[in-house]
Amino acid sequence: MKCVLITGATGNVGLEVVRALHRRGDVKIRAAVRDVAQSATAFHDLPNVQLVPFDFGDAASQTAALAGCDSLFLLRPPQLTDTFGDLINRAKQAGVGHIVFLSVQGAEHSRFIPHHKTEKLLKACGVPYTLLRPAYFMQNFTTTLRADLVQRRRIFLPAGRARFALIDVRDVGRVAAVVLAEPGPRHQGQAYTLTARHRLNFQQMADQLSQGLGTKITYESPSPWRFFWTEKREGVAPGFILVLLLLHYLPRFSAAPPLTQTVQEITGQLPIEFPQFVADNRAQLLGLASPP
Ligand SMILES: NC(=O)c1ccc[n+]([C@@H]2O[C@H](COP(=O)([O-])OP(=O)(O)OC[C@H]3O[C@@H](n4cnc5c(N)ncnc54)[C@H](OP(=O)(O)O)[C@@H]3O)[C@@H](O)[C@H]2O)c1
């Protein structure tokens, strides 16, 4: 049976990749985690997953985790600046035959984001690869944007009326599972942009959240300066505020991102739309349940 190593396995996307592969049942799943004992609870309902120690900063852990693996799901944790040249070489030396990289929509045009460099390294490394370029995660509302939503019933982002292509990370997991598990070269050398079928601006997202949650959610779009100082006063790290600005302010000045049908083409299922995401995560979005 094919063996797949999943990095970032405890995170939003990685855990959904593990779950989707587990449902298929046709590959050996190795979840790469920083702390095997602490991570065990995240996988309590996934009995066929082997947890292996892995740190992006520790070459020895990478070599051990990669030994005997056929495929690698490579994810760049948001807090790291590495572009993974050494890890890609280690995977090559270990005989990994396919690397699936979680990039970001538009990475091919944005030379300043680290994903762009990793994509280039993969194209040059000689190991068959597939690039997944997902749109804006709906799950940002259950992670980075959740506190404002729960405590103030508001979205506070300098995004104006810019429209965003969205994706539920469960769909990213489903696509990744197909690409990792299917035999043959069909997905090799491909770059897949993953989106749901509708673009929304944040006012429309606030309206759909209000409807789905049964409580008014407001949307306020501050100037970049006001956004920066408000977040800084609330203790958010300046580097992270700049990332939020980049993600939400710059799209006001570029064309709306394209939509694709790739999720349906690869999985055979329509992608999850925003109202469904809201319904499925209602308790978390209202602050009635903690994030897992
Ligand atoms: N947010 C969006 O809208 C969006 C859209 C498109 C693409 N993306 C891309 O998606 C990626 C983030 O995915 P995500 O949301 O799933 O991330 P996440 O939830 O923050 O998960 C990060 C994962 O990386 C692990 N990790 C962190 N540091 C590590 C280290 N030193 N060694 C080993 N593992 C480490 C974490 O493990 P621990 O449990 O040990 O912390 C966790 O499993 C980024 O590359 C981002 O650019 C994001």
pLDDT digits (tens, 9 = 90+) for 138-188: 999 999 999 999 999 999 999 999 999 999 999 999 999 999 999 789 999
- If you measure from the C-alpha of residue 213 to the centroid of ligand 1, how many angstroms do you get, rounded to a whole number? 27
Q: What is the pLDDT of residue 291?
A: 72
What domains can you pick out in the chain, each with its CATH number? 3-134+167-195+258-269 (3.40.50.720)
What's the pTM value of the predicted model, to 2 decimals?
0.97
Amino acid at 117: K
| 8 A C-beta contact, residue 36 and residue 63 | no
CA of 13 from ligand 1 middle (Å) equals 7
Question: Does ligand 1 lie within 6 Å of residue 282's CB atom?
Answer: no
Ligand 1 near 54 CB (within 6 A): yes
Please tell me if the CB atom of residue 77 comes closer than 6 angstroms to any atom of ligand 1. Answer: yes
Strands annotated E in 136-285: 136-137, 154-156, 164-167, 190-194, 199-200, 218-220
pLDDT computed for residue 218 by the predictor: 98
Ligand 1 in contact with 104 (CB < 6 A)?
yes
291 lines ligand 1 (CB under 6 A): no
* Atom in ligand 1 nearest the alpha carbon of residue 247: 3
DSSP 213-247: HTS--EEE---HHHHHHHHHHTT--HHHHHHHHHH
Summarised one tens digit per residue, pLDDT across range 231-261 is: 999 999 999 999 999 999 999 999 999 999 9
Q: In 3-state terms, what secondary structure has residue 147?
A: helix
Residue nearest atom 14 in ligand 1 by C-alpha distance: 12
For residue 134, the CA-to-ligand 1 centroid distance in Å is: 13
Residue nearest to atom 39 of ligand 1 (CA): 10
pLDDT digits (tens, 9 = 90+) for 18-36: 999 999 999 999 999 999 9
Q: How far is residue 250's CA from residue 43's CA, in Å, rounded to a whole number?
A: 37
Sheet strand arrangement including 49-53: 49-53, 28-33, 3-6, 71-75, 98-102, 129-134, 190-194
What mean pLDDT comes out for the span 206-231? Answer: 97
C-beta of 106 in contact with ligand 1 (< 6 A): no
pLDDT category of residue 79 using cuts at 50, 70 and 90: confident
**What value does the mean pLDDT take over residues 209-226?**
98
Mean pLDDT of all residues in the chain?
Answer: 96
